[in-house]
Structure 1
Amino acid sequence: MKLKTTLGILFAFICISLNAQSDFRDGFIINNKQDTIYGFLDYRGSISNAEKCIFRKDIKSENITYSPEEIKGFRFTDSKYYISRSVEIDGEARPLFLEYLLNGIVDIFYYRDEIGDHYFVDNGDGTLYELKNEEKEVVVDGTRYIQESNEYIGVLKYTFKDSYEILQKVDNISLDHRSLIKITYDYHHKVCTDGQKCIIYEKKLPKIKKKIGVFFGAKGMSLSQTREYVDKLYYLEDSEFGFEIFPTYGLFYNMDMPNINERFYLQFECAYSQTSFTTSNSFIDPVYSRTHLNDISLKMKTINSSVFLKYEFPQGKIRPTFEGGGFFNYHFQTNYQRDLEVIHAWGNTYFTNQTNVSPFKNSDYGIILGIGLNGNYVKEKELFLDFRYQRGLGMLSRLNTNTFSINIGFQIW
């Protein structure tokens, strides 16, 4: 199977899964009559949530999609809260669902689009002021530099003008959720005199979950020539090493990443495998018309280490996944043998030789792409089945390794 075909299958699987998967959670919408209607909301990313709200009255009912003009807002139970506001984009007013981060004397809102993150403050007068930090190119003594505008610093100083203590902290504030929420929360409690509550709507992130387990699998590996070898490796030219299948087993360590995306996981693996390749080829010396016959065998015992990001689609007892990352293989024991026989044009043997000096490196590295399924077995322990493709780039110049594997893993702790 060619690399392009493999990548095409993986890409198609990802696209189909992305379109098919939904993640409905408890929540409510607020319609334009200020009525609160409880049901289920599709928990999507920040970009999608800014554009639309997908609602179900009950978990099995049909989807209803609302635009920012059709409802006042929506909220996931004890989690994110979005309200409809009009913001200016490229000189034009555009209605969006803004994530309500903090409700106090000063309100903070947020949305994300293809360009990046956007933050706004409302000082209580109903006007949204965007907090900007645009990158600009400046030229100093003929050298070009990228400089941040830090415009948001001035807006925040105006916003927090009633507290000298808070003003002293503004210059050190980063433009992110945590920093903005903290300083605005502190400002509220410095200047609030009427007992008004300051409410943080930002979703509370769960603790990082860690999993340790074992996995077993089978790998199929081939070696493919990418260009002509250098002259000293002539005996490898047009070698057909074949496709070898061998077992593998090892340990995995998995941790989720709630501060980035609760559907992403970082997985480390360490495994053991051993394999062998054989090939035979011939080469005719153009000067003396002698035929060089080469019989080559290569046996390797390998420690396979890999790290990759794993995305798990939500809901269901069986959840599709896809993954991408890198690997490093260390061949801690290599047995190489090349038997050479040189034959005259009339058939007599001219020369024989055997060497155990390997031209191959004792390591390989490259990329990993994969798809799979996650589920649970006894006591909510995780079980996974995946199919992966590895492209190795470092075993020998002008030679790549192509590895397909199927693995089944069991969480132990």
Structure 2
Amino acid sequence: MPVIHLHLSVSLYVLRNTLIGALLLMSVPALPQTNFKPGYVLPLSGDTLRGQVDSRGERRNATVCRFRPSSDAAVTEYTPAQLRGYGFTSGREYQSQTLPTAGKTQVFVQALVVGKTSLYRYADQDDTEFYYAQAAPGTALLPLVQSDTTVVEYNQQTHAETKTRTRVYPFRNVLWTIMADCPAVQTTLTRTELAESQLVKVFSAYNVCKGGEQRVTQRPKTRLRFAVLGGGYQADVDFNGNIEKELHSSMRPSYGIGIQLHPGSFNQHLSIVAQAIYVEQEYSAAYTGTGSLGSGYERTLQVNLSSVRVPLLLRYSLTRGPVRPYIQGGGVFAVHTKHEGQETDYYPRFSSQVTTTPLDLRAYGTGLTVGLGVLISTGQAGDINLEARLDSFDSTSQSSGLLSGARGLSLLAGYTFGK
């Protein structure tokens, strides 16, 4: 794997260490950030309390509810034993229920469909999701399960094993019993998988069939946003020929496009970013050394690279406020649309002739990148992005180690459309 080298030019060294320090300072307070949203709690007795509820991901939402009446009020933490439930005005609702396990654990489960028959989801400490049905209000939860098994058959004639993957659907039997009084819905169960969207559809259809009110809450939809960006890129690379030499490429323009994916099933702070960025690098160096004809030869190194880089990043960003910092990191693949390099040798003591030797450079590269930035909201139209990014790549040359340890600093500004 590529490694970010410590032997850097002074300017790039200072910039990079400043960026790394900022990353560390930012990551400490950012990760435990609260995320209070308008909501309510349902005490064991009495009226609904309205205010703000902290949303910190499904695992935490299942074990504790942090509530405050207003933004400047003290926070109260509730366990599932202390509430009937809580929710957010945006629509998500959690109820205190006892899981049908050996320990009879009491937790907050998210209500996906609430009606004559209800559907709940629970995420454990490993982020594994479980679904439960409630045949009628106040009754025990019933687990909904499906599983895959592999059956191995041995053929004695051919001495070969045949593996067959089989899926079993115990949850269909549970729902078949619950929904026996609505054949129109019951008959659809033979085609139903244990997928949230399909379960919500089945429970909703059953409640409509039986009449009465119901509440349906589904997880947020996946959002895809488009971005444009531009800025500058500065880089270094190590030359290890007959001498060791660090080559520098000054800050040069870079630009590109990207997409940002917010999966509905992800923590709301996380998103996936994919980009295509055009980058240019021009390295050159000259030195005097000793060659086969003795001392005094003059050598010039010249490397020109033009690349399309495709980083795939995981981004963690704050979700509230007009200015929202973020950190990100991931892998990057580079395709060098131009990869030219040469060594030029001149022996003034012996001849005025110049000898040029091409450098065999790779047409692609892989690396790692990490960075930080801020989003500045412009309303529903989108966000302005300002960021700095470090990267490190594997060998640039075909000959291992001749040109290696490429590392760079990107300063980028962009605009991400939509919300």
For 1:58, give the aligned amino acid.
Answer: S
- How far apart, in 1, do the equivalents of 2:261 and 2:255 lie? 20
- How far apart, in 2, do the equivalents of 1:249 and 1:342 lie? 38
| Pair 1:213-2:224 in alignment | no
**Judging changes above 3 Å, is the alpha-carbon distance between structure 1 residues 401 and 60 closer, same or farther for their aligned structure 2 residues?**
same
SS at match of 1:153: helix
Given that 1:252 and 1:267 are in contact with CA atoms closer than 8 Å, whether structure 2 keeps it comes out as no
Tell me the alpha carbon deviations over residues 281-307 of structure 1, each in whole angstroms, 9 at most, x when there is no partner.
Answer: 89989xx89779754221223334434
> For residues 11-410 of structure 1, what are the structure 2 equivalents within 5 Å?
13-19=26-32, 21-89=33-101, 91-113=102-124, 114-124=126-136, 126-136=139-149, 139-141=152-154, 148-190=167-209, 192=210, 195-202=211-218, 205=220, 208=223, 210-216=225-231, 218-224=232-238, 236=241, 239-257=244-262, 259-261=264-266, 262-279=268-285, 295-340=300-345, 353-355=355-357, 357-377=358-378, 381-393=382-394, 395-396=396-397, 398=400, 399-410=404-415
- Cα distance, 1:185 vs. partner? 1.1
Given that 2:271 and 2:315 are in contact with CA atoms closer than 8 Å, whether structure 1 keeps it comes out as yes
- How far apart, in 2, do the equivalents of 1:394 and 1:172 lie? 52
> Structure 1: which 4+ aligned runs deviate by more than 6 Å?
3-9, 143-146, 280-285, 288-293
Structure 1 portions without partners, runs of 5+: 226-234
- Cα distance, 1:138 vs. partner? 5.0
Tell me the alpha carbon deviations over residues 312-366 of structure 1, each in whole angstroms, 9 at most, x when there is no partner.
Answer: 21212221212234433333334422124699xxx978x97312x3311133233
SS at match of 1:395: coil
- How far apart, in 1, do the equivalents of 2:252 and 2:280 lie? 8
For 2:184, give the aligned amino acid.
Answer: E
**Judging changes above 3 Å, is the alpha-carbon distance between structure 1 residues 164 and 252 closer, same or farther for their aligned structure 2 residues?**
same
**Judging changes above 3 Å, is the alpha-carbon distance between structure 1 residues 3 and 87 closer, same or farther for their aligned structure 2 residues?**
farther
| Residue in 1 that maps onto 2:13 | none
- How far apart, in 2, do the equivalents of 1:18 and 1:36 lie? 31
- How far apart, in 2, do the equivalents of 1:362 and 1:280 lie? 25
**Judging changes above 3 Å, is the alpha-carbon distance between structure 1 residues 369 and 153 closer, same or farther for their aligned structure 2 residues?**
farther
**Judging changes above 3 Å, is the alpha-carbon distance between structure 1 residues 164 and 298 closer, same or farther for their aligned structure 2 residues?**
same
**Judging changes above 3 Å, is the alpha-carbon distance between structure 1 residues 94 and 243 closer, same or farther for their aligned structure 2 residues?**
farther
- Cα distance, 1:260 vs. partner? 3.2
**Judging changes above 3 Å, is the alpha-carbon distance between structure 1 residues 3 and 169 closer, same or farther for their aligned structure 2 residues?**
farther
Instruction: Tell which deviates more after alignment, 401-410 or 67-76.
Output: 401-410
Given that 2:41 and 2:48 are in contact with CA atoms closer than 8 Å, whether structure 1 keeps it comes out as yes
- How far apart, in 1, do the equivalents of 2:165 and 2:368 lie? 32
RMSD of Structure 2 on Structure 1 (CA): 3.6
- Cα distance, 1:116 vs. partner? 0.6
Structure 2 portions without partners, runs of 5+: 7-16, 155-160
**Judging changes above 3 Å, is the alpha-carbon distance between structure 1 residues 32 and 214 closer, same or farther for their aligned structure 2 residues?**
same
**Judging changes above 3 Å, is the alpha-carbon distance between structure 1 residues 237 and 404 closer, same or farther for their aligned structure 2 residues?**
farther
SS at match of 1:93: coil
Instruction: Tell which deviates more after alignment, 256-265 or 119-128.
Output: 256-265
**Judging changes above 3 Å, is the alpha-carbon distance between structure 1 residues 368 and 2 closer, same or farther for their aligned structure 2 residues?**
closer
**Judging changes above 3 Å, is the alpha-carbon distance between structure 1 residues 94 and 379 closer, same or farther for their aligned structure 2 residues?**
closer
- How far apart, in 2, do the equivalents of 1:175 and 1:340 lie? 70
- Cα distance, 1:118 vs. partner? 0.6
TM-score, normalised with respect to structure 2: 0.79
For 1:184, give the aligned amino acid.
Answer: F
Given that 2:4 and 2:392 are in contact with CA atoms closer than 8 Å, whether structure 1 keeps it comes out as no
For 1:116, give the aligned amino acid.
Answer: T
- How far apart, in 1, do the equivalents of 2:221 and 2:66 lie? 24
**Judging changes above 3 Å, is the alpha-carbon distance between structure 1 residues 338 and 224 closer, same or farther for their aligned structure 2 residues?**
closer
For 2:315, give the aligned amino acid.
Answer: K
- How far apart, in 1, do the equivalents of 2:92 and 2:273 lie? 28
Tell me the alpha carbon deviations over residues 248-298 of structure 1, each in whole angstroms, 9 at most, x when there is no partner.
Answer: 33243444425234444444434333222235689989xx89779754221
SS at match of 2:91: coil
